[in-house]
Chain A
Amino acid sequence: MATNSSTLMGFVHRRRRGAELFLLVLALVVGIGAYAAVGLGVDGEVPTNLIGYGGWLAVLTVAAHVVVRFVAPYADPVLLPVVAALNGLGLAVIHRLDLAKDTGLASQQLTWMTLGVILFVATLVFLPDHRLLARFTYTSGLAAIVLLILPMLPGLGTQINGARIWIAVGPFSFQPGELAKVLLVITFAGYLVVHRDALALAGRRVVFIDLPRGRDLGPILMMWVVSLGILVLQRDLGSSLLFFGLFLVMLYVATERPGWLVVGGLLFFGGAAVAFRLFSHVQKRVDIWLDPFADPDGSGYQLVQALYGFGWGGMIGRGFGEGMPERVPYAESDFILAAIGEELGLTAVMAVLLLYGLVVERALRAALISRDGFGKLVATGLAAVLALQVFVVIGGVTRLIPLTGLTTPFLSYGGSSLVANWVIVAILLRISDQARRPLPDLTEDEDADEQATQVVKVVPQ
């Protein structure tokens, strides 16, 4: 409300593209510097392909910056550099693990990043106004469900590490769930912006909290069933948690009613308790979480090694090349934070967490100043996706909550996740561009109105 009236009073957000460029240069130093430090630490010399690698990274980020400058001049100046820095740091850590394990994941990740930036640019160019997305409310919901079902189809879906969330087409494998989360945010926002009055007003009051009516519980129950379906059929704890949490956050933000959190919380704990009873894979995760040292060489190995890594890294880490992050299974994807904690220490882990905090803060800021309900809800939803993902992964790796498989946004190795996250950033930039852009001059509109009135007078309809 305050922000709205301040736009009325004639406040104008500055474009701040220069600040973005400055931050992008620093972000490049973070990414390329990490690559050089990996070379120095592991091989004792600056990597020979530093120019080529750094040049490619610079081309990608500068291209993204130039496109933002032309098609979204008022977009938030901090989001793109922060994301570029996280991506650059992730690439360097994956490269470090490549050197230890003799694999070539970093170059694949760079290819995925290129594709991500291309999609980022395409989203910004072909989406001049985020409100266009509201037209595809139900289409995108259907597409999301199809994407979620795809891995279940025989012949197309493949099961990796117990989770059936991949589809393989020829040599390429892809996680459709990553794109589904973006589509689901659009669906929820489009649905809630239309139906929030019904969901917000009706209900009865029970001890300080307005509980919703029984018949309005349909959507939340449906989402609950979908999440449980993912948990049971695809054995993917992380996505299940993410989708339900996302819907709950958006429902709460749209209706401003704590009653939904009570209902959602009860459903969540009910579902979690049933899943814990019935499914061995859930039970196993919880057991490892409660006591990882019960079987340090077997089921608890990964988490125990990650914890040792954090401990060995200490405050400022061992330094690139001085630790042994490769002994943690999946250090390049789910457990990349353990590798960072071991070689760069708590100092870097805190910096990474702050960077995620900045991304989420900027997304929520875009939601706050956005002028339309749909934009507000999409930005909040995307912020919730990123925040939940970071919380679930980092909480799991640091043994705050039971471990669930999700990728750390922008850091982890994983093409589908990286591409989807770049699209998320593009949509966030579009919303913030629309929100910060000054309104057209009102005095001119007045004249236009007068002229329009005169025309109507001359030609009666």
Chain B
Amino acid sequence: MSELTLFLVRIAYLAILWIFVLSAISVIRSDMFGARVPTAAAPGKQPRAPKPPPAPRRGQPSHVAVVQGVNTGATADLANAPVLIGRGNDAAIRLDDDYVSTRHARIVSSGGQWYVEDLGSTNGTYLGSQRITQPVPIGLGSQVRVGKTILELRK
């Protein structure tokens, strides 16, 4: 085996090693931009400027209110969605309820529909008697229970 062949083998192997590393990185790169938007959600390719929040229509909820619990009467405007509910300082509705987690749940809007989503809270978020495990649609008057507090969407 000549010196030159061995040298070429060595260079070739290092090249293979780096080709592998770079291809792995390129898969990750396309992975970051690879999130696919369903065609219904993205009708065209034109860059969509962030739409100004539509003016509150009649019959649509405009704020969320605490109807039962320590903070009864507290409200938060839904125009600032997503609305964070919890015991932490950054929550839109700060609850002084021992059974509520720091970042307990949030209310978000998607396609004109409001959803409540649990943020991995300790004691869970309930819609009626059902503990929710994924974003669940809510409407006017749906009672969302977090800890000992009950929240409701209001007009």
Check: A344 CB closer than 8 A to any chain B CB: yes
B104-155 contacts to A, CB under 8 A, are 108, 110, 115, 117, 120, 122, 134-137
* B positions within 8 Å CB-CB of A: 1, 5-7, 9-14, 16-21, 23-25, 27-28, 30-31, 34-38, 41, 82, 101-102, 108, 110, 115, 117, 120, 122, 134-137
Residues of B within 8 A of A297 (CB): none
Closest to B102 in A: A197
Q: List 23 A-B contacts (CB under 8 A).
A: A8-B117, A8-B135, A9-B41, A12-B38, A14-B35, A16-B34, A23-B24, A30-B16, A37-B13, A40-B9, A41-B10, A77-B31, A82-B24, A89-B17, A194-B122, A317-B14, A321-B6, A344-B10, A347-B18, A439-B135, A442-B110, A442-B115, A449-B136
Distance in angstroms between the alpha carbons of A201 and B88 in the assembled complex: 9
Q: Does A271 contact B (CB under 8 A)?
A: no
From A14, A26, A33, B23 is in contact (CB under 8 Å) with: A26
Are B35 and A351 within 8 A (Cβ)? no
Asked if residues B37 and A440 are in contact (CB atoms below 8 Å), the reply is no
Contact with B along A76-88 (1 / 0, CB 8 A): 0110011001000
Contacts of B19 in A (CB 8 A): 26
A307 interface residue (CB < 8 Å to B): no
Bound-complex Cα distance A22 to B9 (A): 23
Q: Tell whether, in the assembled complex, residue B14 and residue A85 are in contact, meaning their CB atoms are under 8 Å apart.
A: no
CA distance A362 to B20 in the complex (A): 16
Bound CA span A439–B102, Å: 25
Task: Give the residues in chain A near B25, CB-CB below 8 Å.
Answer: 354, 358
B7 contacts A319, C-beta separation under 8 Å: yes
CB distance from B146 to the nearest CB of A (A): 14
Q: How far apart are the CA atoms of A10 and B113 in the complex, in Å? A: 13
A10 touches B38 (CB 8 A): yes
Q: Interface of chain A, helix or strand or loop or mixed?
A: helix
Instruction: Knowing A6-B35, A8-B115, A319-B7 are in contact, say whether A445-B14 is a contact too (CB < 8 A).
Output: no
In the complex, chain B residues whose CB is within 8 Å of the CB of A320 = 9-10, 13
Shortest distance from the beta carbon of B69 to any chain A beta carbon, whole Å? 18
Known contacts being A81-B24, A373-B120, A439-B135, is A12 close to B35, with CB within 8 Å?
Answer: yes
Total inter-chain residue pairs, C-beta < 8 Å: 138
Are A351 and B38 neighbours in the complex by a CB distance under 8 Å? Answer: no
* A226 contacts chain B at the CB level, 8 A cutoff: no
- B contact residues around A77 at 8 Å (CB): 27, 31
- Distance from A358 Cβ to chain B, minimum over Cβ atoms (Å): 6
For the complex, count residues of A whose C-beta is within 8 A of B: 60
Closest to A20 in B: B27
Known: A30-B16, A37-B13, A372-B120. A354 touches B21 (CB 8 A): yes
CA distance A461 to B63 in the complex (A): 32
Hey, which bits of chain A sit against chain B, CB under 8 A?
4-6, 8-14, 16, 19, 22-23, 26-27, 29-30, 33-34, 37, 40-41, 44, 77-78, 81-82, 85, 89, 193-194, 197, 200-201, 316-317, 319-322, 344-345, 347-348, 351, 354-355, 358, 361-362, 371-373, 439-440, 442, 445-446, 449
Chain A positions within 8 Å of B137 at CB level: 442, 445-446, 449
Residue of A nearest to B32 (CB): A365
Closest to B98 in A: A197
CB–CB A344/B14 < 8 A: yes
Q: In the assembled complex, how far is the CB of residue B46 from the closest CB belonging to chain A, in whole angstroms? A: 18
Option from B1, B13, B34 in Cβ contact (under 8 Å) with A44? B1
* Distance A5 CA – B109 CA, assembled complex (angstroms): 10
Say yes or no: A442 contacts B135, CB within 8 Å.
yes
CA distance A107 to B36 in the complex (A): 44
In the bound complex, CA of A78 to CA of B31 (Å)? 10
Q: With A201-B102, A354-B21 as known contacts, state yes or no: A10 contacts B41, CB within 8 Å.
A: yes
Chain A residues near B1 (CB-CB < 8 A)? 40-41, 44
The minimal Cβ–Cβ distance linking A328 to chain B, given in whole angstroms, is 20
Given contacts A4-B117, A6-B35, are A30 and B20 in contact (CB under 8 A)? yes
A316: which B residues are within 8 A, CB to CB? 10-11, 14
User: Known interface pairs A26-B19, A194-B122. Does A16 touch B35 (Cβ–Cβ under 8 Å)?
Assistant: no
Contact of A5 among B11, B23, B35, B108 (CB under 8 A): B108
State the 10 A-B residue pairs at the shortest beta-carbon distance, nearest first. Answer: A373-B120, A319-B10, A11-B35, A44-B1, A10-B41, A26-B20, A351-B17, A19-B27, A37-B13, A347-B14
Closest B residue by C-beta to A81: B24
User: Are B101 and A37 interface neighbours, CB within 8 A?
Assistant: no
Using A10-B41, A40-B6 as known contacts, say yes or no to A348 and B17 having CB atoms under 8 A apart.
yes
Contact of A200 among B6, B10, B102, B115 (CB under 8 A): B102
A189 vs B16: C-alpha distance in the bound complex, in angstroms? 39
B34 x A14 contact (CB < 8 A): yes
Rounded to whole angstroms, the CA-CA distance of A249 and B64 in the bound complex is: 38
Give the complex CA separation of A445 and B34 in angstroms: 27
- Give the chain A neighbours of B36 by CB distance below 8 A: 11-12, 14
Q: Which A residues are CB-close (under 8 A) to B31?
A: 14, 16, 77-78
Distance (whole angstroms) from the CB of A40 to the closest CB of chain B? 5
